[in-house]
Chain A
């Protein structure tokens, strides 16, 4: 485990920011699940939309990280601006659908 933390410290800062964002999103999802466990899941669509929006942003963040990471051979010729633009577009659609689903 220590070697993991040592190796992790070597990653560049912008990737670390994305990682922090992803961790935050997953934590929010967990909080929502715990809340549902306490209060009950009556407006199920609201619960689902909340949890899925967190998971969705987490997943999109991970995808962005994959595409921006300079060590990834497969995405070598993808300019980071394009990756970010895709990320923004997908997030936009995600949040539009969540808004509709919230009820």
Chain B
């Protein structure tokens, strides 16, 4: 409730600045002498500036504050899985310095392969957090790096609102900029990945994305090299922060192509795109993880193709300017065009056929062909964030912006310029991709906010001018004489109805915007502020019950196992185990080696003796599983088990998915398949569970997630022994017994 009135009052303050300036100026003109008038007019401009600055400051604070729910409710900790890896690398960076970090080889994950961390991550986020940490230390504020990491995302979200304001001002006017800043400050699509504690690449990357786009549009509008240089730096920051930079490097050439096709080629465009592309490409290649992809990978070829196309355009334009004879130019045009097209297609053909230009990687190809991942790459298909988006997600994440988006498109088309064409393209392409993958709603959020801001700003401005012009017209009809007054009078006739309708519409618009603000804060509070590592539920008496099992298990690992112990678990928990448990893991969330993950999947889905052989080959000391049957926690390993089977079966055909299903159904009770009832995962999860009564009135061994009584209650483990089970049975750790002395 607290943020809602703020958003409301800031939005209410936006429409008045322009019309009162015009109305006040006109009334002053008639009544006061010149010097006083000039002083007063200056005051009005200063008033407008004051209003704008204070609105922006409030929006900045709002964007930061609305993301702090989980810090206030639980404590300042890192959420989810991926951020733990980022946190660990940042810790390493602050402790060992930059060159050690750049050349770091991590031997604690992906045992026995290790991981070249320096060359396989996007350093932007870690370097930013480390720099902030150093800055704060230099100001003698001794903060722990964890606090900096937790609050990096809200800080950058607040910066994004400023960039959104500048971008809106560039596209439309400052009113739209303010509305855009306010909308993006609370947009749930953006909040979902940038709450305090979500220390992930996207928090910084969206800021870099919007910044790059803003600088590029400004460069195209002004045609200056300095802005193009700034855009190249923005692009460099984006490349260093997130793999989604591929979106920029494809959207910019697409935008240039659209401008060329619609006949808006200009020298400014040439200067802007060329400078940004060359410098951006060079800067992008400095990141080791990206390497030479800008010249070798199929995903970046569009940019290069458009680069050459632009040279051709410029050349033809110059020749046309030089020659004043049209016919000669036409023949020259024909010759050059055929030459260029043939050379271009030849180069592209040779490059793709010889394999020099690598084809689109699976991650991005599945965006163009959504069915690709399910058949070919099960790991990508298994991540829940990569599923196609449902309408409810769109509504949940965008609320009123969803129908303001087409309205904004209409306004953009009414006033077409280079900048509005860009935002329309950004909006349409990002909405398409958001429809393909849930995770990409985040990329669409700024575009949707900007376009909706245009709609809101233009509508409110029209409505308020309608209301204000009613108060202005009696004076003007008094001043002018004769026919003019009669004409104005005739025009003023329909105004009384229009005035009421305008007031009603304005109130309706404010009501909608306030509902949006309320919805966003509710969504943030309920859905997006849970640190997945600490679970909470409501107890019988309504009080909050907190399950801190994950951290309990990781700290047990940290304190009770030898330092060189190797832990085998499903890849979801790898980052957390290395970061908090400080032990070596077999596979983790980086998922760069599919065969290794398939080996673990095979071990989890085999009988205990086959699994023991695999675990011996991998030197496993402990096995960790997550089990939600006692608490009703539904994202546990039994629910993920089929993915383990699929991934394992993708590499080792000895694992067949139908073995674990009964008539195509996945069951864990008495009717389950024998292979399912005796595989390692089942045994580890349900060991000693058959004796436990979980719910009043149900038999012992009742699994609260699946809602059935388990089939195999009398489990005996031969090669493993139970080492630790957390207080709510969520995490279970087993020790692998060494081979017997006498076999």
> Could you mark each residue 19-62 of chain A with 1 if its beta carbon is under 8 Å from any beta carbon of chain B, else 0?
00000000000000000000000001100110010011001101
Residue of A nearest to B315 (CB): A62
> For the complex, what is the distance from the CA of A59 to the CA of B292, rounded to whole Å?
21
A94:B267 contact, CB within 8 angstroms: no
> Could you mark each residue 694-709 of chain B with 1 if its beta carbon is under 8 Å from any beta carbon of chain A, else 0?
0000000000000000
Given contacts A48-B295, A66-B270, A90-B225, contact A59 B323 (CB under 8 A): no
Q: A74's contact among B232, B267, B322, by CB below 8 Å, is which?
A: B267
**Contacts across chains A and B counted by CB atoms under 8 Å:** 85
Dominant secondary structure of chain A at its interface with chain B = helix
Q: How far is the CB of B358 from chain A (nearest CB, A)?
A: 14
Given contacts A87-B225, A89-B229, contact A59 B278 (CB under 8 A): yes
8 Å CB interface, B193-223 against A: 223
A63:B323 contact, CB within 8 angstroms: no
Q: B286's contact among A7, A66, A101, by CB below 8 Å, is which?
A: A101
8 Å CB interface, B233-278 against A: 266-268, 270-271, 274-275, 278
Which of chain B's residues have a CB closer than 8 A to the CB of A7? 322-324
Q: How far is the CB of B335 from chain A (nearest CB, A)?
A: 10
> For the complex, what is the distance from the CA of A55 to the CA of B277, rounded to whole Å?
11
Residue of A nearest to B284 (CB): A97
Is the CB of B504 closer than 8 A to any CB of chain A? no
Which of chain A's residues have a CB closer than 8 A to the CB of B295? 48
Q: B225's contact among A3, A72, A89, A101, by CB below 8 Å, is which?
A: A89
Dominant secondary structure of chain B at its interface with chain A = helix
A74:B268 contact, CB within 8 angstroms: yes
Given contacts A44-B292, A66-B270, A72-B267, contact A3 B328 (CB under 8 A): yes
Is the CB of A83 closer than 8 A to any CB of chain B? yes
Which of chain A's residues have a CB closer than 8 A to the CB of B270? 62-63, 66
Interface size class of B (residues with CB under 8 A): 20 to 34
Which of chain B's residues have a CB closer than 8 A to the CB of A4? 319, 322-323
A63:B292 contact, CB within 8 angstroms: no
> Could you mark each residue 70-85 of chain A with 1 if its beta carbon is under 8 Å from any beta carbon of chain B, else 0?
0110110010001100
> For the complex, what is the distance from the CA of A44 to the CA of B293, rounded to whole Å?
12
A100:B267 contact, CB within 8 angstroms: no
> For the complex, what is the distance from the CA of A33 to the CA of B413, rounded to whole Å?
45
B271:A66 contact, CB within 8 angstroms: yes
> For the complex, what is the distance from the CA of A4 to the CA of B329, rounded to whole Å?
10
Is the CB of B283 closer than 8 A to any CB of chain A? yes
Which of chain B's residues have a CB closer than 8 A to the CB of A55? 278
Given contacts A63-B225, A63-B271, A83-B225, contact A45 B282 (CB under 8 A): no
Most buried by B among A7, A48, A63: A63
Chain A: interface residue total (CB-CB under 8 A): 35
Given contacts A56-B278, A97-B279, contact A74 B286 (CB under 8 A): no
Which of chain B's residues have a CB closer than 8 A to the CB of A100? 286
Q: How far is the CB of A61 from chain B (nearest CB, A)?
A: 11
Q: How far is the CB of B234 from chain A (nearest CB, A)?
A: 13
Which of chain B's residues have a CB closer than 8 A to the CB of A66? 267, 270-271
Residue of A nearest to B266 (CB): A74
A59:B267 contact, CB within 8 angstroms: no
Is the CB of B281 closer than 8 A to any CB of chain A? yes
Given contacts A45-B292, A63-B271, A90-B229, contact A52 B224 (CB under 8 A): no
B225:A48 contact, CB within 8 angstroms: no
> Could you mark each residue 318-354 of chain B with 1 if its beta carbon is under 8 Å from any beta carbon of chain A, else 0?
0101111100100000000000000000000000000
> For the complex, what is the distance from the CA of A93 to the CA of B295, rounded to whole Å?
20
> For the complex, what is the distance from the CA of A69 to the CA of B391, rounded to whole Å?
53
Which of chain B's residues have a CB closer than 8 A to the CB of A49? 282
A74:B223 contact, CB within 8 angstroms: yes
Given contacts A74-B266, A100-B286, A101-B285, contact A52 B278 (CB under 8 A): yes
Is the CB of B314 closer than 8 A to any CB of chain A? yes
8 Å CB interface, B652-687 against A: none
> Could you mark each residue 109-153 of chain B with 1 if its beta carbon is under 8 Å from any beta carbon of chain A, else 0?
000000000000000000000000000000000000000000000
Q: B274's contact among A45, A52, A62, by CB below 8 Å, is which?
A: A62
Which of chain A's residues have a CB closer than 8 A to the CB of B268? 74
A101:B319 contact, CB within 8 angstroms: no
B323:A94 contact, CB within 8 angstroms: no
B279:A94 contact, CB within 8 angstroms: yes
Most buried by A among B232, B278, B283: B278
> Could you mark each residue 150-176 of chain B with 1 if its beta carbon is under 8 Å from any beta carbon of chain A, else 0?
000000000000000000000000000
B275:A52 contact, CB within 8 angstroms: no
Is the CB of B226 closer than 8 A to any CB of chain A? yes
Q: How far is the CB of B16 from chain A (nearest CB, A)?
A: 34
B292:A97 contact, CB within 8 angstroms: no
Q: How far is the CB of A56 from chain B (nearest CB, A)?
A: 5
Q: How far is the CB of A78 from chain B (nearest CB, A)?
A: 7
Most buried by B among A8, A44, A83, A97: A97
Which of chain A's residues have a CB closer than 8 A to the CB of B229? 86, 89-90, 93
Which of chain B's residues have a CB closer than 8 A to the CB of A78? 224
Most buried by A among B279, B314, B323: B279
> For the complex, what is the distance from the CA of A48 to the CA of B274, rounded to whole Å?
17
> Could you mark each residue 286-311 of chain B with 1 if its beta carbon is under 8 Å from any beta carbon of chain A, else 0?
10000010010000000000000000
> For the complex, what is the distance from the CA of A49 to the CA of B372, rounded to whole Å?
36
Residue of B nearest to A85 (CB): B226
Q: How far is the CB of A59 from chain B (nearest CB, A)?
A: 5
Which of chain A's residues have a CB closer than 8 A to the CB of B282? 49, 52, 56, 94, 97-98, 101
Most buried by B among A8, A49, A94, A100: A94
Q: How far is the CB of A46 from chain B (nearest CB, A)?
A: 12
Residue of B nearest to A98 (CB): B282
Closest 10 CB pairs of A and B: A86-B225, A7-B322, A63-B271, A59-B274, A56-B278, A97-B282, A66-B267, A86-B226, A90-B229, A90-B225
8 additional A-B pairs beyond A59-B274, A93-B229, beta carbons within 8 Å, are A3-B323, A7-B324, A8-B322, A48-B295, A75-B223, A89-B229, A90-B228, A90-B279
In the complex, 11 of the A-B residue pairs with CB atoms within 8 angstroms, ordered by the A residue number, are A7-B323, A56-B279, A59-B274, A75-B267, A82-B224, A86-B225, A87-B225, A89-B229, A93-B279, A94-B282, A101-B285
A residues with CB within 8 A of B? 3-4, 7-8, 44-45, 48-49, 52, 55-56, 59-60, 62-64, 66-67, 71-72, 74-75, 78, 82-83, 86-87, 89-90, 93-94, 97-98, 100-101
